[in-house]
Amino acid sequence: MATFTSALAVMFVFAIMTASTVYLFMKRKQDIMTLKQAKIIIYAEVQDICEVALVKKTFNSIVSKDFDKKLPFFDTHIPGTSRKFLMEYSGVIKCGFDFQKVQVVPDDSFGRKIKIFIPKCKILDRYSDDDSFKIHFQDAGIFASNIKIEEKDKWVADDLENQVQIAIQEGLVERADENARQMLWSRLSNRGLNNHFNIEIISFDKDCPPVIDSYQQNLLE
């Protein structure tokens, strides 16, 4: 009788241990994020980031023009031919990246690793604030044509493009690249992806794209 009781106790303990092992295994399996789930989260976060300007620069600028006519073969101003214009305005330059070029690629050679390829940022938009236009001075001599609206618009457009080049030289694109990586990493960490995968975020030039991810192609179609 004692032997039977002991055997029953051993079987009971074994059953409990087996059930506990199965439970822990199933729970761990449920806790492990799949690659498909990770990709869905990554693309959702990337798209959300793209919907806001990664870097937005506002600026104030002055458009100044001074024209006159001179006598042929002489550096002498002809009276009454001058045209002068002075205007102040504000504008906005936005810099970011193209969501449709983002690629998520699993790297099986390093276990559960995901490489996220993000295209380098570029100037997405630039525009002037028409409500900010302040014309301080405009004048045309008696022998000069009046300054036309089309001319003003062209001068502002030219100045706007010049402001874009200045922003690029000041490192606007580089700041947007860094901001994109940091923002994406922060969001993915908050979603817990770094607990399931070794994630690497890589910026690539638009002229040298990596291998196209077929999952993303299906997602975008």
In this predicted structure, what is the pLDDT of residue 203? 86
- Residue 142: is its pLDDT beyond 80? no
Q: Over 70: is that where the pLDDT of 165 sits?
A: yes
pLDDT band at 25 (very low <50, low <70, confident <90, very high): very low
Distance between CA 200 and CA 197 in Å, rounded? Answer: 9
Lowest mean pLDDT of 17-31, 105-119, 142-156, 193-207, name the range. 17-31
Q: How confident is the model at residue 111 (pLDDT cuts 50, 70, 90)?
A: low
Mean of all residue pLDDT scores within the chain: 78
Res 168: pLDDT: 96
Question: pTM of this prediction?
Answer: 0.69
